[in-house]
Amino acid sequence: MSSTAGLVIPCKAAVAWEAGKPLVIQQVEVAPPQAMEVRIKIKYTSLCHTDLYFWEAKGQTPLFPRIFGHEAAGIVESLGEGVKGLEVGDHVLPVFTGECGECAHCKSEESNMCDLLRINTERGVMLSDGKSRFSINGSPINHFVGTSTFSEYTVVHSGCLAKINPLAPLDKVCVLSCGISTGLGATLNVAKPQKGSLVAIFGLGAVGLAAAEGARIAGASRIIGVDFNPGRFEQAKKFGITEFVNPMDYDRPVQEVIAEMTNGGVDRSVECTGSINAMISAFECVHDGWGVAVLVGVPSKEAMFVTKPINLLNERTLKGTFFGNYKPRTDLPSVVDMYMNKKLELDKFITHRVPFSEINKAFELMVKGEGLRCIISMED
């Protein structure tokens, strides 16, 4: 047992009090973990666009005050009752979705959409008792997607923690707990391109470049990047992108351009923007007979996808994916091992680093669209 087990831990956290306003670093109290929960010491966290989206509170019900953050790596400090498979001192990745191991989804080899621990952006409390583990002077502070990693200590359901190789550098592998794994898995687990395949990636942000990294690892012969920002092409080459297409350069649908470039269409496409037009283009640019398109980006709830049924009848396949079809506890350790074995390159995703005291700089960088991932060191 750790010396702090069972005690309330005072620590620093970056608290969001209002939508779009700078986070405030202040002391919070973090309660001990309850049944099936784990308290962890966050070592490194990074900023994902999902944090930015809910911090801006555009298009969803705002929930403040709140501690954001969900891409991180840490060390187990103490365990709640009933937790199995984890010990104090274990190195872990907290994940916004989970794996209870008991529901039909967890027992299925095809699904990673756990009934109990699936992402819930509107819940600001823990599952076991409907209460927050964070407080300031007795007043509760809301959690975010069950992780809240913008805090030196946080409490997470044990099913949302992946135990990883203790030799893995936490300041690198922390990016695997959300966006990078999402794009990587969309390609490797869902699109499954064969060696020599032609692949198109729509959207060259961090998730799209992770999808391109997956195509590179799979041995694709051509990886076509599609984006409105030509400034992204040079950086995208590091991730295996061989050609760049800007839809704005053409007066016809980009799927027609890609079909012409590839003698009928690509073998696989991965869409990482959330744009309905990009989704339609990603589907319609794959080759008939065997082409597979995978949708990763999240559109608005009211958005409608429209295509001609003949596109399906001509044996094109359309798939969606959630977190790259990775089961967090079962699969993420092997993704970390891919990095440790030098099969997966993570360093090129990390473009900025800031100390925790300057966390608002990470938000400024993302708002400006600068860089891919900014690592926030909790101890600097």
Give residue limits of the domains in the chain: 9-175+346-377, 182-322
- pLDDT, position 1: 64
Averaged over 181-204, what is the pLDDT? 98
From the candidate CATH numbers 3.40.50.720, 3.10.20.30, 3.30.1490.20, 3.30.465.10, the one assigned to the domain spanning 182-322: 3.40.50.720
Mean pLDDT, all residues of the chain? 96
Active site residue 143: no
Q: Are residues 209 and 277 in contact, defined by beta-carbon separation less than 8 angstroms?
A: no
**Per the residue annotation, which of 4, 29, 56, 103 is the catalytic one?**
103
Statement: residue 318 has pLDDT above 90 = yes
Active site residue 160: no
Active site residue 152: no
Active site residue 106: yes
Closest CA relative to residue 296, chosen from 178, 380, 120: 178
**Per the residue annotation, which of 4, 11, 29, 49 is the catalytic one?**
49
Active site residue 118: yes
- pLDDT, position 302: 87
- pLDDT, position 210: 98
**Per the residue annotation, which of 70, 157, 222, 268 is the catalytic one?**
70
Q: What percent of the chain has pLDDT over 70?
A: 99
- pLDDT, position 47: 94
Active site residue 49: yes
CA separation for the pair 150, 189 (Å, rounded)? 30
- CB contact set of 50 (below 8 Å; sequence gap of 6+): 70, 96, 145, 178
Q: 9-175+346-377, which class in CATH?
A: alpha beta
Active site residue 114: yes
Statement: residue 200 has pLDDT above 80 = yes
Averaged over 150-156, what is the pLDDT? 98
**Per the residue annotation, which of 149, 152, 373, 374 is the catalytic one?**
373
List, for residues 79-106, the tens digit of each pLDDT value: 999 999 999 999 999 999 999 999 999 9
Active site residue 100: yes
List, for residues 212-248, the tens digit of each pLDDT value: 999 999 999 999 999 999 999 999 999 999 999 999 9
HEC assignment per residue over 342-378: CCCCCHHHEEEEEEHHHHHHHHHHHHCCCCCEEEEEC
**Per the residue annotation, which of 37, 39, 45, 71 is the catalytic one?**
71
Q: Are residues 94 and 177 in contact, defined by beta-carbon separation less than 8 angstroms?
A: yes
- CB contact set of 281 (below 8 Å; sequence gap of 6+): 202, 226, 247, 253, 254, 255, 258, 271
**Per the residue annotation, which of 48, 174, 285, 374 is the catalytic one?**
48
Statement: residue 59 has pLDDT above 70 = no
**Per the residue annotation, which of 37, 39, 91, 100 is the catalytic one?**
100
Domains 9-175+346-377 and 182-322 share a fold: no
Averaged over 294-313, what is the pLDDT? 92
**pLDDT grade, residue 359 (50/70/90)?**
very high
Statement: residue 253 has pLDDT above 90 = yes
Averaged over 318-326, what is the pLDDT? 97
* pTM for this entry: 0.96
Q: Are strands 292-295 and 317-320 parallel, antiparallel or unpaired?
A: parallel
**Per the residue annotation, which of 114, 160, 174, 285 is the catalytic one?**
114
Cβ-count burial 76-91 (b if 16+ within 10 Å, e if not): bbbbbeebeebeeebb
Active site residue 91: no
Active site residue 174: no
**Per the residue annotation, which of 97, 147, 154, 178 is the catalytic one?**
178
